[in-house]
Amino acid sequence: MPHDHDDFQTEPVRGLPENLPEGEHILWQGQPDWWALTREALSFWWVAGYFAFLFAWRTIGGAATETWTESATAASFFLVLGAIVCIILLVVGVVQARTTVYTITNRRVAMRIGAALTMTLNLPFRKIRNANLEVRRGGTGTIALEMEDDAGSVRLSYIMTWPHVRPWRMKHTEPALRCIRDAEAVAKIFADAAETAVAQPVIERMAAPQPLAAE
């Protein structure tokens, strides 16, 4: 029996936990490129190279007491183990990309992330201090968001939001739109929307002062 169940079919809007409020609309939505995410965030080539190095090191070292064929056969364990690990990384990359939705509206950036534990980050433009764009060959790239460090605000956990963060920024976690296609075009959409949103005045409702009771 085929199973076409979608874990996110209950979302009122794709990638968002609730309907957009009046006056807010989506400007862009996207997901990480799974292969770029696997290469960069999961260090696919570094891991593959590490096991290839172990194979070569064991083969050369064993050739001092064995034939090259015997030594390579004994060292092939590292190739098999490396292949298994690389397959796992590919699966993780595909799942992470498939379950992620990045959204840019005219008021905020929203990130639905997490494979096992799904959560949505809502990042208003007024809370974003700066954005950094890194573009790779092929047009994929990452937009990292430097957040305002407000007193009393909840800090994002690097571990809970990985790999959707700027690498190695652990003390001040920077959520990131990782490995997205056409990164430069998306960055322009973000910049234009953020500039417009920040330029708009914010009117806060304040309680009227209560008159002092006559003594």
Which residues lie below 8 Å from residue 109, measured CB to CB, with a gap of 6+? Answer: 102, 103, 121, 123, 125, 128, 145, 175, 177, 190
Q: Six-digit token pair at 44? A: 């696919």
| Residue 41 within any structural domain of the chain | yes
Q: Are residues 74 and 112 in the same domain?
A: no
> Do 108 and 192 lie in a common domain?
yes
CA 164 – CA 31 distance, rounded (Å):
11
Dmax over CA atoms of the chain, in Å, equals 105
Whether 42 is in a domain gets the answer yes
The structure tokens listed for 178 are: 């990782």
Q: Cite the DSSP H helix spans in the chain.
A: 34-40, 44-62, 68-98, 158-161, 183-199
pLDDT at residue 79, rounded to an integer: 94
The domain boundary, picked from 56, 73, 96, lies at 96
Q: State whether 60 and 47 are in the same domain.
A: yes
* Per-residue pLDDT of the chain in tens (215 residues, 90 and over written 9): 444 445 556 778 888 888 999 999 999 999 999 999 999 999 999 999 999 999 999 899 887 787 888 888 888 999 999 999 999 999 999 999 999 999 999 999 999 998 778 899 999 999 999 999 999 888 899 999 999 876 446 678 888 899 999 998 888 899 999 999 999 999 999 999 999 888 766 555 565 555 555 54
- Residue pair 202/81 in contact (Cβ under 8 Å)? The answer is no
CATH number of the domain encompassing residue 144:
2.30.29
The answer as to whether 193 is a domain residue is: yes
Q: Residue 14 has what DSSP assignment?
A: T
CB 20 within 8 A of CB 105: yes
Tell me which DSSP letter residue 107 carries: S
Shared domain for 81 and 117, answered yes or no, is no
Q: Quick check: is 48 in a domain?
A: yes
Out of 96, 115, 146, a domain closes at 96
Looking at the structure, tell me whether residues 156 and 144 fall in a common domain: yes
User: Which residue from 186, 183, 163, 184 is spatially nearest to 173, judged by alpha carbons?
Assistant: 163
Output the six-digit token pair for 157. Answer: 């956990």
Single-letter amino acid code for the residue at 69: T
In a domain, 136, yes or no: yes
The span from the CA of 141 to the CA of 131, in Å, is: 13
| Pair 135, 190 in one domain | yes
Any idea how long the chain is?
Answer: 215
Closest listed residue to residue 164, CA positions, set 35, 44, 40: 40
Name the domain count of the chain.
2
Taking the C-alpha atoms of residue 173 and residue 72, their distance in angstroms, rounded to an integer, is 44
Domain shared by 189 and 107, yes or no: yes
Where in the sequence is the domain holding 91, given as residue range(s)?
37-96
Q: What is the pTM of this model?
A: 0.82
User: Same domain, yes or no, for 169 and 116?
Assistant: yes
